Every structure is written in C-alpha cells, then in structure tokens.
Amino acid sequence: MHKTLTLLTLIAAAGLALPSALAETPRPGLVSAGDYAAGPLGSELQPARAQPGNGTVYRVGKWPTYTAELAAGPGRDVVLGNCSMCHSVTYITMQPPLPAATWEAEVHKMINTFGAPIQEATAKEITTYLQTHYTPDTRKE
C-alpha cells in the first residue's frame, strides 16, 4: 500500500505544533487569512474611469495613410514584397542611415527572431538593396 505524505503528516510526525493560521481553519492546510478583494477569483478592483470636465478637448491627428516610397533600384520590388508582409516599408525609411552590417543584422533578425519566411538568396538581395540605398554613405535624402 502506498502512503502519501502531506505537509501536515510531516509536521505531526516531527512533533511540531501547527501554525495558528493552519490550526484555525476548517480545512487543515488552507490559509484563509490575508487581504482579499470581494468579487470573482482573479479580479482586480479598479477605480471608475475619470470623467472629462467641461471644456476638455482630446484630439488625435490624422494617421498617415501613405506608404513611404523606397528608393528606385534593383531589389526594390523584392523588399516591398517581402518586408511588407509583416510591416510597412515606412519602418525602413524612418530609420536613421544605418551601417551596412546593421542592415544585414536586421534582415537576419527578421528571419531568425521574427520568423520571416525569406530564403537566404532573397535575404542577400534585400540586404544588398538596403546597403545600397540606406547607409550613411549611400542615403540620398
């Protein structure tokens, strides 16, 4: 016969007294002391949303709906087709001019970390395009 040892069995076997929080509960081992919020398990009570006062104005500017133009040249269509699967090509044009090694690392990060389904030959073509148009030495705008 297999006997399961519980914490209470071990405490009793060692001749120790039960902690008062354990001894006072109707089910031994259940600690019922503490600071618990009323409501369903796992809920957090939060203050009510603040109501705006009279004259309060909240405005958000128009979200740009354009896609940035990439520099013309060999590999542009490959970059558009592959990079825009996951993000806008505006992410390319809004970067500061990056060194060639950084562009290579960025392309490999997209493949290895984020799982972009890009073959190695295509990755080289993308990297070459970015290095040709978006490094400190080659960026025209």
* Average pLDDT for runs of 10 along the chain of length 141: 56 65 53 52 56 63 72 95 92 91 96 95 97 90 65
CA atoms within 13 A on the CB side of 135: 15
- Tokens read off for 80: 């558009």
Query: Which pLDDT value is given to residue 101?
Result: 96
- The Cα–Cα gap between 128 and 57 comes to 48
The pTM is what?
Answer: 0.54
